[in-house]
Amino acid sequence: MDFVNDVIAWKRDGHELDAGRLRAFVDGVVNGSVPSYQASALLMAMVLRGLSDTETVELSRAMVESGKMLDLRVVRRPVLDKHSSGGVGDKVTLVLAPLVAACGAVFGKMSGRGLGHTGGTLDKLESIPGFRVQLPQGEFVRQLERIGVAVVSQSERVVPADRILYALRDVTGTIECDGLIAASIMAKKVASGTAALVLDLKVGRGAFMGDLHHARDLGRLCRLIGDFYGRPTTCIFTSMEAPLGRTVGNRLEVEEAWQVLRGEGPEDVREVTLNLAGALLALSDLGVDETEGRRRAEAALADGRAAEHFERWCFVQGGRWKPGEFHRLAAHQTRASRAGYLTGVDAMAVGQAAQIAGAGRRRIDDTVDPAAGVLLERVVGDRVDAGDALAAVFSRDPARRAQAAAVLDRAFTIGEEAPQRGRLMLGRMEVEG
């Protein structure tokens, strides 16, 4: 107890925590010898004083070693992964995972659930009847060997320290620390056996990071940890001022992802996916650069291989996939108050409306309604007349639907002149070496 007090005071006074102190802290959190009030105090000191590069790497190392590490070398090929920092309407993994496999590489991901206004890949996959997100390790590996793609829930034995610390950060106002965020992201990727990684770091109103400078700082720290563990990491920065695509909600997003896999669907979802696919395939064992990787990904979307791999992936993980076959809930339509051009769609407001409707959760133990969500009828740049439908919010609960509609109604800005098209792809950090 006295040791932990000394560590808290040491960081409070602005000193750097060495590997031994960080290891003792993380081990104590996991085994219960460090009570939550002391862990929260040290987390607050980290937020207020910040973490150095060395502290960030050593914290991630202690977190990795707090539980089981998966060894995916038995697959005998590099297992690629992608992480998104969270956005509204971000269904990219649903397209990217089978697309990478269709191009001949291996994509394996341990994913999480949505919290707050951002969606979670597991919730989206579970909107497909029968889809199993919990697989034993042996089955996970065999599926990667067999079809080249698997997305599963995070094992409780992998990085248990992160699960405990994140829960504390969520209720103590200590989320906002780049070192803690980078350590959390990368510890899970390293421990889950990822060989190479592309980070899709979202920037804008609907993202955790509001500006590109902040996103670059986080990307640099993630790259630093990746380099330490020999995990090549590419960071791609994408805009999240407006929702990605036209749907926000679990089954709605799966349906839209299916459209993209068939060579159709919204251009912004397609563009982000192809950029990430090119970057991932360049990190694979296929011997291609990003230009060739993107070309192969475009071909796989065009000739139907990506859609076939999605269907096969769903079947192998127990999903009964039938596009279009789900019950549409009662909807409220948001309509244009006047004529003009749609100059803005507030991603945060749309995400909050979908959450309220039942597509998201405020607490990790909340349940979600797979059919709830928001469908955008118009996007930024469209010309509208007074009374035109802008969006629909779906919910089975009339009270939720009314509350969500009130939030959604405030998401749209109409102006006199057509807006300039904003950039979707904001930049990147290449793998060094």
Same domain, 27 and 113: no
Which pLDDT band holds residue 433 (cuts at 50, 70, 90)?
very low
- Is 139 strand, coil or helix? helix
Q: What is the CATH number of the domain that holds 170?
A: 3.40.1030.10
Which pLDDT band holds residue 170 (cuts at 50, 70, 90)?
confident
pLDDT at 355 over 90: yes
pLDDT at 209 over 70: yes
Same domain, 291 and 387: no
Tokens of 397: 């609960």
Q: Is residue 61 part of a domain?
A: no
Do 70 and 192 meet the contact criterion of CB atoms below 8 Å apart? yes
Q: Which of 112-116, 126-130, 192-196, 292-296 has the lowest mean pLDDT?
A: 112-116
Amino acid (one-letter) located at 314: C
pLDDT at 431 over 70: no
Same domain, 221 and 368: no
Same domain, 26 and 119: no
Q: Is residue 188 part of a domain?
A: yes
Q: Is residue 166 part of a domain?
A: yes
> For 42-49, what is the mean pLDDT?
96
Mean confidence (pLDDT) of the chain = 93
Pairing mode of beta strands 106-111, 79-84: parallel
Catalytic residue numbers? 83, 162, 169, 184, 188
Q: Which has the closest alpha carbon to 108: 136, 150, 76?
A: 150
> For 341-365, what is the mean pLDDT?
89
pLDDT digits (tens, 9 = 90+) for 379-429: 999 999 999 999 999 999 999 999 999 999 999 999 999 999 889 999 998
Contact partners, residue 132, CB within 8 Å, separation at least 6? 317, 318, 319
> For 249-266, what is the mean pLDDT?
96
* Bridge partner list, 200: 84, 236
Q: What is the pLDDT of residue 112?
A: 75
| Residue ending a domain, choose from 289, 322, 355 | 322
Tokens of 192: 């889950």
**3-state SS of the chain: helix, strand, coil percent to 5?**
45, 15, 40
Structure-derived torsion over alpha carbons of residues 209, 407, 367, 255, reported in degrees to the nearest 10: -80
Q: Is residue 10 part of a domain?
A: yes
Q: What is the pLDDT of residue 360?
A: 82
Q: Return d(Cα 404, Cα 243) in angstroms, integer.
A: 16
pLDDT at 364 over 90: no
Percent of the chain at pLDDT above 90? Answer: 84
Same domain, 7 and 123: no
Same domain, 317 and 341: no
- The conformational region for residue 373 under phi > 0 = left, psi -120 to 50 = alpha, else beta, is left
Tokens of 331: 């909807």
> For 123-136, what is the mean pLDDT?
95
Same domain, 287 and 264: yes
Residues of the domain holding 21: 2-50
* Bridge partner list, 379: none
Do 239 and 347 meet the contact criterion of CB atoms below 8 Å apart? no
- The conformational region for residue 152 under phi > 0 = left, psi -120 to 50 = alpha, else beta, is beta
Same domain, 171 and 251: yes
| Residue ending a domain, choose from 291, 322, 353 | 322
Same domain, 344 and 316: no
Q: What is the pLDDT of residue 326?
A: 58
Same domain, 257 and 379: no
Which pLDDT band holds residue 274 (cuts at 50, 70, 90)?
very high
Q: What is the pLDDT of residue 325?
A: 60
- Domain count across the chain: 3
Continuous H helices in 283-365: 290-302, 305-316, 347-354
- The conformational region for residue 287 under phi > 0 = left, psi -120 to 50 = alpha, else beta, is left
Signed CA dihedral, 189, 190, 196, 200: sign only: positive
**Length of the chain measured in residues:** 433
> For 49-73, what is the mean pLDDT?
96
Do 401 and 357 meet the contact criterion of CB atoms below 8 Å apart? yes
Q: What is the CATH number of the domain that holds 17?
A: 1.20.970.10
Q: Is residue 161 part of a domain?
A: yes
Q: Return d(Cα 316, Cα 125) in angstroms, integer.
A: 13
Do 107 and 79 meet the contact criterion of CB atoms below 8 Å apart? yes
Same domain, 114 and 82: yes
Contact partners, residue 35, CB within 8 Å, separation at least 6? none
Sheet holding 389-394, edge to edge: 247-248, 373-376, 389-394, 331-335
Q: Is residue 428 part of a domain?
A: no
Q: Is residue 56 part of a domain?
A: no
pTM: 0.94
pLDDT at 190 over 50: yes
Q: Is residue 63 part of a domain?
A: no
pLDDT digits (tens, 9 = 90+) for 315-347: 999 999 988 765 567 789 999 999 999 999 999
Do 280 and 101 meet the contact criterion of CB atoms below 8 Å apart? no
Q: Which comes out higher in pLDDT, residue 314 or 3?
A: 314
Determine which helix (DSSP H) or strand (DSSP E) holds 80, and give its type and residue range.
Answer: strand 79-84
Q: What is the pLDDT of residue 173?
A: 87
CA atoms within 13 A on the CB side of 107: 26
pLDDT at 138 over 70: yes
Angle at 183 between CA 177 and CA 188, to 5 degrees: 135
Same domain, 318 and 335: no
Do 11 and 49 meet the contact criterion of CB atoms below 8 Å apart? yes
Q: What is the CATH number of the domain that holds 395?
A: 3.90.1170.30
pLDDT at 1 over 70: no
